[in-house]
Structure 1
Amino acid sequence: MTGNGKTWPDPVEWTGKIYSAGWRESEGGTLQVIEPATGHALAEVGVASSVDVARAGARAAQAAGDWAAAAPSDRIDVLLRASSALREHSATFRDWIVRESAGVPAKGDYEITAALAQLTHAVGLASRPPGEVLTPQTPGGTSLAWRVPLGVVGVINPWNAPLLFAVRALAPALALGNTVLLKPDPLTPVSGGVLVARLFEDAGLPDGVLQVLPGGAETGQAVAADPHVAMVAFTGSAEVGRVVAGVAGEGLKRVALELGGKNSLVVLEDADVDAAALAGAVSTFGYQGQACVAAGRHLVHADLVEAYTDALVGHARTLRVGDPRVEGVSIGPIISERLATRIERIVDESVAGGARVLTGGRRDGLFYPPTVLDRVDRAMPAFTEEIFGPVAPVIPFHREAEAIEIANDTAYGLTAAVHSGSVQRATAVAEQLRTGMVHINDVSAKDAANAPFGGMGLSGNGSRIGGSASLEEFTQWRWLTAPGPV
């Protein structure tokens, strides 16, 4: 709601529409937004067809020159006003995040706080020196190198952190002078699209600089293929990432892929068992495990595995499952029937292969309880596959080298956590893990606006978003020489 009692944003202006130089009817029809916890229809948004994407790409390209030439202070003003508007409308964002993505209110608050941090950090990017003065090859000459915007950036977003992941790419891209085509996931097109468009509309972003184009795979492929798009930033599964990279590769576009993970939480024999188990519970059960940075393996020294498992089971049993809007609920529903069925298959096949369910393991519709498995071997789906659900496979080890080898036994390489009574010892183990991120005596699921976020292997193509890495991702170098002063 706004201060005058009117709903923000007004459904009349955006229902059934896309945002492309204003709110417009789409060529691709509409889709219903469904609340996972209840099955109720929440809203209707427009679906961008390939024709809509082509028009949006042309509009973004037309706006790119003026936006790139805008004074950094003008871009900063837009980012600051967007930050102010996000604070003003935080309750609306929280409600939509809870209802669309099925996270508890604390998850909505986290996304808002993290998105505000991304906007603040982007302000700093906009004001950084654009380049450097180089030593000329000829005396008295000039040699300059500076960063210029790429042009039009396509951002293809997932459903599990719709606001945060939109702003994480959008804010630095805009700050550095690019225009953006944002395609939110069809499961969360309001919190990851409509509200973001209204946020920047209120902030005074010029027409055409941001286009928001909800839709499914066809829309995403159209964004990746559009000839006006110079770069695609994609967050999602490795399977879809391959498709996006292939489509973008036809146009030799820059592609930033932030994909999945099979992340390990390693507990050495000198660790604080209670602290490690709490970190393990948060890492696996938080937001139903529906995060690329969730812990998908709990590797625990054999001397501690019984105590650790008991503590982890204890945490799991205290977590109430239900509608995330209900006070006291910690675990909401899985986002879709397809994903709930997948989690069920992974657990059931692992149990059939000899794994044991210590708690949980049986779903009720979309509601899947926090689940702990032991007797997990390395041939089971619970070990090999990214579960993307609240399932904690516990695997014992006897030596550090064994733990490192088990943790690295995956094609993914996103994040990890190592627990030990010695930070130096944990760091020595962490340095041998093949991951883009690692955290000592902490959860596996962390991010920060000033940190380069990304992974190795199937977790990404080596790209990073966050901190100074965003400067590399969203600009390119230009070099100028002259025989004298310029």
Structure 2
Amino acid sequence: MAVIDEKWPDRAEWAGKIYSSGWREPEGGIRQVIEPPAGGAPVDIGVASPADVARAGARAAEAAGEWAAAGPSDRVEVLLRAYDALRERAGTFRGWIVRESAGVPAKGDYEISAALAQLRHAVGLASLPRGEVLEPQVPGGTSLAWRVPLGVVGVVNPWNAPLLFAMRALAPALALGNAVLLKPDPLTPVSGGVLLARLFEDAGLPDGLLHVLPGGAETGQAVAADPNVAMVVFTGSTEAGRAVARVAGEGLKRVVLELGGKNSLIVLDDADVEAAALAGAVSSFGYGGQACVAAGRHLVHADLAGAYTDALVGHARAMRLGDPAEEGVSLGPVVSERQVTRIERIVDESVAAGARVLTGGRRDGLFYPPTVLDHVDRAMPVFTEEIFGPVAPVTPFRSEAEAVEIANDTAYGLTAAVHSGSAPRAVAVAERLRTGMVHINDVSAKDAANAPFGGMGVSGNGSRIGGTASLEQFTQWRWMTAPGPA
């Protein structure tokens, strides 16, 4: 169950404030967050103004120099204490994730587990070799190259996985000697911001290294534009990512963009239909489809399409909607009125164009049921647009070449899954897909701390976070030479 410890963190300490060298009153005022129907009262959140961001950036730059000079063991000790504190406070993190994002408790548990994995992996990053001894250009000389921290990293976080996405940038950035300005999404300022500030405060992170700056687009733009910020990590929609990249580009900053997806789950004619349909249901309906890695297209060989859709409908109808804090509920409400209206519009326009609803398809307030559509062609909104809801559009194909061509018919390129009774055959299809990630006989929605996560096309800018890619992203090279003896 989702139970919040109201004594940690003490609401009187953080309500209406920002975290920047302690909890302080913001110049941007206070915003009341109205939560989805998942329990709990409205929350007063401090809003960071551009002036607040500027002060935080200056302090972070000062603190980053001292942090970079500290030994790796000092940084590791903080991360290990944060790991222990997160395990101890897991119930509160779970409760706030349910309360703010309307995910079921199991989704909160997944985020906590994944965040712990990010902390564990970051501990290893801190001790990786940082440099190379190069061949000198003059006899007896010295030529060295090594990686140094960037300084200050700005993180603009989404609402759909607030803890995981924040920690995916925060843990490696701190481990490698950087300071962080974290801007949580307005819908999830506690689970994606306040709790993390308190967690690292308890872990003994030195003052000035983490600033939590809630707010809307203006705050995010200020973080991206701040002259002390050397790198911006943004996770969200492609449209918003372009705006962040434009601002950051003016300062020639490094930018990591993890954006949307229109991901295909491909079922070849020799696939295990039941296993593929289960993976398809998890990929499209898990957490209401509100994930960039959700399956937005089910491409099924025509010979299996009937059996596949029957099985997919069965999984959809077995899922129970309701208050996510209740036992046995599979899906909670969609996160906002704006988002459920978008899902409704995409489905209704596609049905008007000829798609057929096999189950679901009608909202009830903020609740949208798992929905399966067939007769989906490539001109329909449900085929072309990222849905970000529990909708599974099914489109048949006749050959592997056609399946690949349909899957690649999008500007997105985040992830995909291929199902086949022959692993070599599935791999051969997977290698032809224009995606940053692909999974064989599995779901489309996967994440691992030791893997480079990211997409191609308008799903990202080719950058990656995770594994040794984090070492590349959160540091930069320095080269030093010295002449040999005279």
User: Partner of 2:240 in structure 1?
Assistant: 240
Q: How many residues align?
A: 481
**What residue identity is the alignment partner of 1:221?**
Q
The residue correspondences of 1:456-475 to structure 2 (distance < 5 A) are 456-475=456-475
Q: State whether structure 2 residue 19 is matched by structure 1 residue 37.
A: no
**Equivalence map 1:316-395=2 (5 Å):** 316-395=316-395
Q: Secondary structure at the match of 1:229?
A: coil
Instruction: Show the counterpart of 1:413.
Output: 413
Match of 1:196 in 2: 196
1:338 counterpart letter in structure 2: R
Contact 1:417 1:442 in 2 (8 A): yes
Whether contact under 8 Å (1:267, 1:300) holds in the other structure is yes
Identical aligned residues as a percent: 83
Aligned-partner Cα distance in 1 for 2:345–2:40 = 26
Distance 2:359 2:36 in 1: 24
Query: Contact 2:323 / 2:332 at 8 angstroms: preserved in 1?
Result: yes
Which residue pairs with 2:114 in the alignment?
114
Supply the distance in 2 between the matched residues of 1:141 and 1:339 (Cα, whole angstroms): 62
Residue range with higher mean Cα deviation, 436-445 or 133-142: 133-142
Q: Is contact 1:404–1:433 with CA below 8 Å preserved after alignment?
A: yes
Residue equivalent to 2:227: 227
For residues 4-41 of structure 1, give each alpha carbon's deviation from its aligned partner in whole angstroms, at most 9, with x where no partner exists.
Answer: x8711111110100000000000111122222125853
Match for residue 54 of structure 2?
Answer: 54
| Secondary structure at the counterpart of residue 230 of structure 2 | strand
Contact 1:33 1:41 in 2 (8 A): no
Name the counterpart of 1:70.
70
Which secondary structure does the structure 2 equivalent of 1:322 belong to?
coil
Name which of structure 1's ranges 32-41 and 208-217 shifts more when overlaid on structure 2.
32-41
Q: Do 1:17 and 1:26's aligned partners in 2 also have CA atoms closer than 8 Å?
A: yes
Separation in 1, partners of 2:43, 2:323: 18
Residues of 2 paired with 1:6 and 1:451: CA distance? 36
What SS does structure 2 have at the residue aligned with 1:45? strand
Contact 1:340 1:366 in 2 (8 A): yes
Alpha carbons 2:102, 2:333 under 8 Å: kept: yes
1:394 counterpart SS class: strand
**Letter of the 2:108 counterpart:** G
Structure-1 residue corresponding to 2:95: 95
Q: Secondary structure at the match of 2:366?
A: coil
* Match of residue 260 from structure 1: 260
Q: Do the aligned partners of 1:181 and 1:211 also contact (CA within 8 Å) in 2?
A: yes
User: When the two structures are superposed, what TM-score results if normalisation uses the length of structure 1?
Assistant: 0.98
Q: What's the counterpart of residue 476 of structure 1? A: 476
Q: What is the RMSD of the two structures over their aligned residues, measured on CA atoms? A: 1.0
1:101–1:335 contact (8 Å) kept in structure 2? yes
1:129 positional shift: 1.4
Q: Which residue number in structure 2 is paired with residue 304 of structure 1?
A: 304
Whole-angstrom distance in 1 between the partners of 2:178 and 2:50: 22
Q: Is the 8 A contact 1:34 1:40 kept in 2?
A: no
SS in structure 1 opposite 2:24?
strand
| One-letter amino acid matched to 2:241 | G
Which secondary structure does the structure 2 equivalent of 1:242 belong to? Answer: helix
Instruction: Determine whether 1:173 maps to 2:150.
Output: no
Contact kept? 1:152, 1:178, Cα under 8 Å: yes
* Aligned-partner Cα distance in 2 for 1:139–1:240: 53
**Aligned partners of 1:30, 1:406: CA distance in 2, in Å?**
47
Output the CA distance in 2 between the equivalents of 1:356 and 1:448: 36
Structure 2 counterpart of 1:219, one-letter code = T
Query: Unaligned regions of 5+ residues in structure 2, if any?
Result: none
C-alpha distance in 2, partners of 1:424/1:436?
19
Q: Displacement, 1:53?
A: 0.5
The one-letter amino acid paired with 1:241 is: G
Mapped to 2, the partners of 1:148 and 1:62 lie a distance apart of: 16
1-structure distance, mates of 2:400, 2:41: 51
Task: Give the corresponding residue for 1:209.
Answer: 209
Q: Distance in 1 between matches of 2:154 and 2:358?
A: 44
| Contact kept in structure 2, 1:32 and 1:41, CA below 8 Å | no
Amino acid at match of 1:409: D
CA contact (8 A) 1:59 1:208 kept: yes
Query: Quick check: 1:142–1:481 contact (8 Å CA) kept in 2?
Result: yes
